[in-house]
Amino acid sequence: MPNLFWKGKDQKRLSNINKSQNIYPFHIKELNRYPLINNLGAHNETIKIRREEYHKSKLISEKWTNCLIQGDNKDILNSLLQNYTRKINLIYIDPPFATGGDFESKMFIGEKDAFTVTKAYSDSWSGGIDSYIKFLYDRLILMKELLAGDGSIYVHLDWHVSHYIKIVMDEIFGRENFKNEIIWAYPAASAKTRRFFIRSFDSILFYTKSSNYTFNDDPNIYMEFSDRVKFALKNDDKGTYYHRGGSHNGKKLSQKVYISNQGIFPRDVWTDIPYIRANTSEYQAFSTQKPERLIKRIILASSNKDDIVADFFCGTGTTLVVAEKLGRRWIGSDIEKHAIHTCRKRILDIWNSNNLIKWDQKYSEIPQPFRILSINQDQIDFQKDKFEIKMIKKRKSLSIELLDYTIPDSNLIDEKLKSKIENFSDWVDSWAIDFNWQNNYFTTTCISYRTPKNRLLNLTSIPYSYDAQGNYIIAVKVNDILGNETIQKYNVNIE
């Protein structure tokens, strides 16, 4: 079988890949276990019930908790090997495409329509294509070790590097385990060129770990019938049918053919899933965001309920949200703090998103507990005097009001951005409270956040009721629009 060689390729056997690697400890930064959400309204009563049920469970320490991890994914993958080797059932990744360009995201400001465009990440590689291939090769080897024996991996790319990575995947996973190159075709966002044919598709390489792999014939992955077929469909008391023509001995024949599924089993060219536009409900203001319905087809086809689904370039969290909605366990990671914060909010706000099985309805479910981890990070560093709060006590009840916030290093902020700030709360993207700080990590008890579609931010928290009198430590965390995270602690006496 042909192999691909590039500058700096390590010729070690794949099975020895982890012997020279260091294992880094994971540190819990934050635990989200049914927090009260300020803009959730009546759903908070359901959250309270879920929280009580969770704490009453005798198996709480043994329960799976979904993981969102911040850090370099090579370090993360290597550290996961200790506990997750051959345990992850499905991996989907949407890595950089080696385009040589920069990608942007919108930074929304306050409650009005103000925003500024910021650089999300650079897709330029100082060592050229060699350094890109090595980057992905090193990570794909580790992903293979994490995949279960019946697991699958989908690698989302485009014309820039898909032909290189196809050969790399053949080497790592075996040519015999290649199943599809899926073409996701979508309308071109802009068609300015007349120098070559317009590029309007991505490639998704689908490989399995072995010949014994999970693949489901699920009606919810089916593609819609073409307009011609839809027009030809009719109904009678036996169901939906179409007429199949033909001839015999020179006579035209016609017979009814009844169908059981409202669509056709997917081909390897997917033309039925549009890309994300600003007017769509799942829009997260990130230029390379992928649609939930794209990931839905992959997860339903290549995993079962309670399986572990992982995405190590999770970006805005599409894979994690879809896995959550479809009853899968999940692990996600990203190197960018802003991506982790976006995922955190999106998962908490999942109740307000579309139902994947009935898209015209709300999902309306509360997310399962998840934790935010980091690699090689010290204990939380508490800052002082970055914001001001007011405590509102009523017997054993306490609520917090956010009164002011001071941006760190304000002299370094672009003047054009400053001019769009009308009050202190315009800096704040979310703020959360741990009403009973007991650990070396933040447990979100109550949170208020902005999303691209809902810019309102409550500056007074939902009241929290303590079970007993006594002295407590509360921690308040503010995440601003620039990606800064500030945590302050306070002592409070509940009488």
pLDDT tens-digit series, residues 289-341: 999 999 999 999 999 999 999 999 999 999 999 999 999 999 999 999 999 99
Q: Residue 31: enclosing H or E segment and its boundaries?
A: strand 26-37
Residue 99 CA neighbour count, 13 Å, CB half: 13
Residue 19's pLDDT is: 45
Q: What is the 3-state secondary structure (H, E, C) of 342-409?
A: HHHHHHHCHHHCECCCCCCCECCCCCCCEEEEEECCCCCCCCCCCEEEEEEEECCEEEEEEEEECCCC
Higher pLDDT, 232 or 303: 303
3-state secondary structure 194-206: CCCCCCCEEEEEE
**Residue 316 has what pLDDT?**
95
φ/ψ region of 469 (left if φ > 0, alpha if ψ in -120 to 50, else beta) reads beta
Residues of the chain with CATH 2.60.40.10: 387-494
**Which residues, other chains included, contact 223 with Cβ-Cβ below 8 Å and sequence gap of 6+?**
263, 264, 265, 266, 267, 270, 272
CB 389 within 8 A of CB 490: yes
Q: How far apart are CA 121 and CA 269, in angstroms?
A: 29
**Across 356-373, average pLDDT:** 93
Find the range with the poorest average confidence among 115-119, 203-207, 308-312, 363-367: 115-119
Range in 90-94, 293-297, 356-360, 393-397 the model is least confident about: 393-397
Residue type at 309 in one-letter notation: V
Give the number of other CB atoms < 10 A from CB of residue 445: 23
d(CA 72, CA 10): 20
Flag whether pLDDT at 39 surpasses 80: no
Phi/psi at 428 (nearest 5 deg)? Answer: -90, 125
Length of the chain: 495
Among 46-60, 190-204, 445-459, whose mean pLDDT is lowest?
A: 46-60
User: Pick from 481, 473, 361, 346: which is nearest to 426 by CA?
Assistant: 481
pLDDT value of position 20: 47
Mean pLDDT of 171-177: 96
Query: What gap in Å lies between CA 155 and CA 61, rounded to an integer?
Result: 34
Do the beta carbons of residue 91 and residue 154 sit within 8 Å?
Answer: yes
- Say which residue, 480 or 235, is predicted with more confidence: 480
Q: What is the Cα 49 distance to its own chain's centre?
A: 26
The whole-number pLDDT of residue 321 equals: 98
pLDDT(385) > 60: no
The answer on pLDDT for 360 being more than 80 is yes
- As annotated, the residues of the chain forming the CATH 3.40.50.150 domain(s) are 14-37+65-214+269-375
Q: What confidence score (pLDDT) does residue 60 get?
A: 59
CATH number of this structure's domain 387-494: 2.60.40.10
Residue 142 has pLDDT above 50, yes or no: yes
Taking 60 as the threshold, does the pLDDT of residue 384 lie above it?
no
CA 313, CA 87: separation in Å to the nearest integer? Answer: 19
DSSP label at 119? E
Condensed to tens digits (0 to 9), the pLDDT of residues 65-118 reads 999 999 999 999 999 999 999 999 999 999 998 877 777 788 888 888 888 888
Judge whether 425 and 457 are in contact, CB under 8 Å.
yes
199 CB neighbour count, 10 Å cutoff: 12
Pairing of strands 470-480, 88-93: unpaired
For the cut 80, the answer to whether the pLDDT of residue 131 exceeds it is yes
Mean pLDDT of the 212-240 span:
84
Of 158, 91, 100, 98, which is closest to residue 133 (Cα–Cα)? 98
Q: Which residues, other chains included, contact 163 with Cβ-Cβ below 8 Å and sequence gap of 6+?
A: none
The CATH number of the domain covering residues in 14-37+65-214+269-375? 3.40.50.150
Return the percentage of the chain with pLDDT > 70, whole number: 91
pLDDT in tens, 402-459: 999 998 777 778 888 888 889 999 999 999 999 999 988 999 999 999 999 999 999 9
What confidence score (pLDDT) does residue 428 get?
95
Q: Which two tokens stand for residue 406?
A: 């001071």
Measure Cα distances from 400 to 45, 396, 450 in Å: 19, 14, 18
C-beta of residue 186 within 8 angstroms of C-beta of residue 273: yes
Model pLDDT, residue 62: 67
pLDDT exceeds cutoff 70 at 155: yes
Say whether pTM exceeds 0.85.
Answer: yes
Bridge partners (DSSP) of residue 115 are: 108
Task: Show the tokens assigned to 124.
Answer: 């330029």
